[in-house]
Structure 1
Amino acid sequence: MLAEQLIGRLEYIHSKSVIHRDIKPENFLMGVGKYGNQVYVTDLGLATERRDAQVKTNTGRARNLYLIGTARFASINGHLGVGLKATDQKQKEELILKEKEMIGIGDLYKDLPAEFAAYFDYIRSLGFNENPDYSYLRKIFRNLFVRKGFDYDYVFDWTILEYLKTTQ
């Protein structure tokens, strides 16, 4: 249920030709009370229009001139836009990039259902100007949801845990 909402929120943002550029757990919040099952996207401070985020290189591939957002959550493609002039921060970003490039999908998600690897493998395969197939991405997690036998009841596990804490 959460994956479906997250993908839907990003699809909406992208449909407005906006790139968030700072995707990390801290920028997604859950509502409270009767909205406790709703995901909200926050911190669009680094967001930009898609056409403004592109800079053509001599290879014809669009790239950022510098890393935007939080290095540990940035994509490999985000890191590839980092320049060669080294400062302490850039050296740190380059090390993070090298670590990310060395980690295989199988190693990163070995303790998770295969659907997580399928999701990130698909995302990593997208070219800069390609739009994700959001229906396919939702389907990956919907199939996992059904396979695990969950009920689409709009109630998250943490909501139940919080309720149980208040009744004890």
Structure 2
Amino acid sequence: MLTGDEVAIKMEPLHVEHETNHPPTLAYEPVIYKLLGKPSVGFPSLLWAGKDHGNYVLILERLGPNLASLFKFCRRKFSPRTVCMLAQQMLARIEYVHSRGLLVVDVKPQNFAVGMGDNAHVVYLFDFGHSKLYLDPATGKHHPYVKNRSATGTAVYASIAAHRHYELCRRDDIEALFYVLVEFYCGDRLPWQGIYAPSYEAKLERTRDMKAGPAFRDFVAAHCPPELQAYYSHYTNLVFTQEPDYAYLKGLFVKRVKAEGWDNDAKFDWIDPSLLEKGTLIPEEYVVAPRFVDEVELDPS
């Protein structure tokens, strides 16, 4: 009302807690934003949080379209150059979250978006309703490895440990991002998307087995570029409490950009679609703007 700025407003009814016996995520998410502090770039500003007219309300800086929507507009195929540039920024956002003693938990394309206006080249990470601490704030020690935890995250991108209901660690965020980058690079569905199973539970089990089995390792070797193969090798060799080598992982994509002679200028495919074989789904006379973007809802499996 005072500035005329547009904002993003998330709302969740207060009665959800009484119906499900679980606290609404919007009652929890502001705590995560406060723990994140004030990062210099790549996270929306928290403008207000509280209760209003029977709802939990979260007001955030407004962002542009998310990467799932942009991926759809680019006909579900990003150029290798765009994948490399996205990977560097996405890894940097996850690295920052980890530096605050937190896990993202739900890493997926829908939770990354580009900024507005002068920040249209910046990739933002948002939606921390499933985030959790991996460091004990009192002792600074890594939480212990335990089994029989509740499964969290989105099944398509969830780590193998999440499928197995194990305690999560930093490796699991890195693994989930790998599945996102493979989807972006290969342009087709991940091997476990669209599979048949007689029930949702059976589908989850089959998805877990496919991620952990030799067929996916063969898929990575056959269809992924060297930088993604090296990424896969790195995270699969991490132990539970081990910190990922973020500089090494980001460097894999920087090396590819330099080797190809590409400009690392954040001019992504939806800004400059000349590198796409089939172009985009956006007519040339349109400019990428939120009013042309509908939220992409994925099947929960």
Out of 108, 111, 115, the residue aligned to residue 223 of structure 2 is 111
| 1:73-131 C-alpha deviation (Å, 9 max, x unpaired) | 1111222226xxxxx65443222111111233341353331111111221122112111
Q: Describe how 1:2-151 pairs up with structure 2 within 5 A.
A: 2-51=86-135, 56=144, 61-63=145-147, 65-81=149-165, 89-102=200-213, 103-108=215-220, 110-151=222-263
By percentage of residues, which structure has more helix?
1
How many residue pairs get aligned? The number is 157
Q: 1:150 to 1:106 in 2, by over 3 A?
A: farther
- Secondary structure in structure 1 of the residue aligned to 2:151: coil
Task: Give the TM-score, by structure 1 length.
Answer: 0.81
Greater fraction strand: 2
Q: Secondary structure at the match of 2:124?
A: strand
Aligned partners of 2:157, 2:238: CA distance in 1, in Å?
18
5+ long unaligned stretches in structure 1: 83-87
Do the aligned partners of residues 91 and 106 (structure 1) sit closer, same or farther apart at CA in structure 2, a change above 3 Å counting?
closer
Consecutive unaligned residues of structure 2, counting only runs of 5 or more, are 1-84, 137-141, 167-198, 274-279, 287-301
- Does residue 154 (structure 1) correspond to residue 266 (structure 2)? The answer is yes
CA drift of 1:62 comes to: 3.8
Task: Work out whether residues 64 and 78 of structure 1, in 8 Å CA contact, stay in contact via their aligned partners in 2.
Answer: no
Specify the SS of the correspondent of 1:144.
helix
Q: Tell me, yes or no, if the aligned pair for 1:55 and 1:65 is still in contact at 8 Å.
A: no
Quick check: 1:62–1:128 contact (8 Å CA) kept in 2?
no
Offset of residue 164 of structure 1: 8.7
CA contact (8 A) 1:105 1:121 kept: no
What residue is the counterpart of 1:85 in the other structure?
none
Distance 1:106 1:117, change over 3 A: farther
> Are the structure 2 counterparts of residues 144 and 44 from structure 1 closer, same or farther at C-alpha, using a change threshold of 3 Å?
same
- Tell me if the contact between 1:20 and 1:48 (Cα under 8 Å) persists in the aligned partners: yes
- Deviation >6 Å, runs of 4+: none
Do 1:105 and 1:117's aligned partners in 2 also have CA atoms closer than 8 Å? no
Q: Deviations over 1:53-74 (max 9, x none)?
A: x874xxxx44461211111111
- Asked if the contact 1:3/1:138 (under 8 Å) is kept, the reply is yes
Q: Distance in 2 between matches of 1:33 and 1:105?
A: 41
* Local SS of the residue matching 1:34: helix
